[in-house]
Amino acid sequence: MKIALLGYGKMGKTIEQIALSRGHAIVLKIDKHITDYDITKADVAIDFSVPSAAVGNLSKALNNNVPVISGTTGWLKDYDDIIRLCKERDGAFIYASNFSIGVNVFFELNKQLAKMMSNLDKYKVNLQEIHHTQKLDAPSGTAITLAEGIIDNSNYKNWSLDKGDSETIQIEAKRIEDVPGTHIVSYDSNVDTIEIKHTAKNREGFALGAVIAAEWIIGKTGVFTMKDVLNIG
């Protein structure tokens, strides 16, 4: 499989290592805001770029009938436009705020716990995410996905970085030097706390999930998620 890496930072380099170890070829390495490249060399594109470059990268891939995997966060105001383009071009697209297999299991645990807690009004939900200081967006895309999973399965209606109440989930975002990505969902009452937590040990879990998604999407058309790739939930 010939892969275009759209974004060649730390994650792109880790994806490259894993893809090569699985017998794939890297035919393009596009860094930052380079826009003049031939995407048709690739069988599939994997985008881990920056928010300002993501939409252009995704559009180029879809307009040239190249399936594309996106792990870039911070561009979702344009998500509906990309989905529309994918359908118009009969393309193939997967976006995930987090491609880690473990995190996607965590997403499903979060939804199930939210359902179980939805009628227990003595408990207040708290959501915390911790990342290294180089992560630009806050809250993390993973934290937003977790919040949305709670909202879809409870009486909460929205999320906020500022403060929470009976209808709003507060997401506490921390940026600390050299810490692994950590996400904690807790339900707190006057008598106890119920907590689920995911801590990433390195980038390899995210990178492997992205490569597995790229392998899976070849030959398919449509808009998919990691639930489809992993057959969970």
Number of domains in the chain: 2
- Asked if residue 13 has pLDDT above 90, the reply is yes
Q: Which of 135, 197, 201, 227 is catalytic?
A: 135
pLDDT higher at 60 or 141: 60
Q: Which two tokens stand for residue 4?
A: 């275009």
Instruction: Give me the chain's average pLDDT, please.
Output: 94
The parent domain of residue 7 ranges over 2-99+204-230
Distance of alpha carbon 67 from alpha carbon 69, whole angstroms: 7
Pair 112, 79 in one domain: no
Q: Decide if 15 contacts 46 (C-beta within 8 A).
A: yes
The pLDDT of residue 163? 87
Report the CATH number that the domain containing residue 87 is assigned in CATH: 3.40.50.720
Report the CATH number that the domain containing residue 176 is assigned in CATH: 3.30.360.10
Q: Decide if 59 contacts 35 (C-beta within 8 A).
A: no
Pair 111, 192 in one domain: yes
Tell me the average pLDDT across 57-69: 97
Pair 141, 160 in one domain: yes
Is 227 an annotated catalytic residue? no
Pair 180, 111 in one domain: yes
Pair 95, 109 in one domain: no
- Asked if residue 233 has pLDDT above 70, the reply is no
Pair 126, 65 in one domain: no
Tell me the average pLDDT across 87-107: 95
- Asked if residue 98 has pLDDT above 70, the reply is yes
Pair 54, 83 in one domain: yes
Of the pLDDT bands very low, low, confident and very high (cuts 50, 70, 90), residue 202 is confident
- The single-letter code of the amino acid at 75 is W
Pair 76, 18 in one domain: yes
Pair 82, 121 in one domain: no
The pLDDT of residue 34? 82
Tell me the average pLDDT across 191-210: 94
Residue 215 CB neighbours (<10 A): 16
Q: Which of 131, 174, 183, 201 is catalytic?
A: 131
Distance of alpha carbon 174 from alpha carbon 134, whole angstroms: 12
Is 135 an annotated catalytic residue? yes
Pair 110, 91 in one domain: no
- Asked if residue 7 has pLDDT above 80, the reply is yes
DSSP β-ladder status, 44-47 and 68-70: parallel
Tell me the average pLDDT across 94-114: 95
